[in-house]
Amino acid sequence: MKEHYSEADLLETYYMQPSEASEIIAHVNGCSECQDRYRRLSQKLSETSACATDKPETFWSRQRMIIGRAVERARQESGSSAARGGRIAAAAMLAFILGGAVVYKTVQPAKAPVVVVAQQTATTPSDDMDLQVPRDPWQDDELKDFGTVVAWESWNQ
């Protein structure tokens, strides 16, 4: 057990749960020196909580004047910032329009491209040119892979 508690330790008892402060309270009840410290501490706390909150009328008039000036200054600044924003928006719009005009003038529309069509002559197949078409279309090499899927022979019967 501690010999004596400091004012800081005693002040903590104000913020502790009674079950947490039971050791300190038991010591204070048995120690006259800690009782005196506790009394002085409680007197200090009661004096600070009982301080006068009534302010003279000059204090309140001064506060109103300070707040009024701050509000007026904020209004003036917000008005000037709106005008400044408008000027920036107008400058951006002008730059956009001028930029578009410059690009439009520099990029001339291209003339229609000239399309040259080569005339092809049709040749008639001669007898010696053999067309590579199989006699039976179902016997084509491309369809052989699908023979297992569809039984072509069953359709003919």
Q: Which residues of 111-135 are buried (b: 16+ CB within 10 A; e: fewer)?
A: eeeeeeeeeeeeeeeeeeeeeeeee
pLDDT(22) > 60: yes
- Token pair of 99, please? 């930029």
Number of domains in the chain: 1
pLDDT at 123: 64
Contact between 35 and 7 (Cβ < 8 Å): no
Does residue 93 fall inside a structural domain? no
Q: Is residue 120 part of a domain?
A: no
Indicate whether 133 pLDDT > 60: no
109 found inside a domain: no
Of 95 and 114, the one with more pLDDT: 95
Q: Which domain holds residue 44?
A: 7-49
Q: How far apart are alpha carbons 47 and 38 in whole angstroms?
A: 14
Residue 22 domain-assigned (yes or no):
yes
Give tens-digit pLDDT for 73-112: 888 877 677 777 888 899 999 999 988 877 777 666 666 6
% residues pLDDT > 90 (the chain):
8
Residues 136/138/142/143 CA torsion (nearest 10 deg): -170
SS3 content of the chain, % helix, strand, coil (to 5): 65, 0, 35
Task: Say how far apart CA 100 and CA 110 lie, in whole Å.
Answer: 18
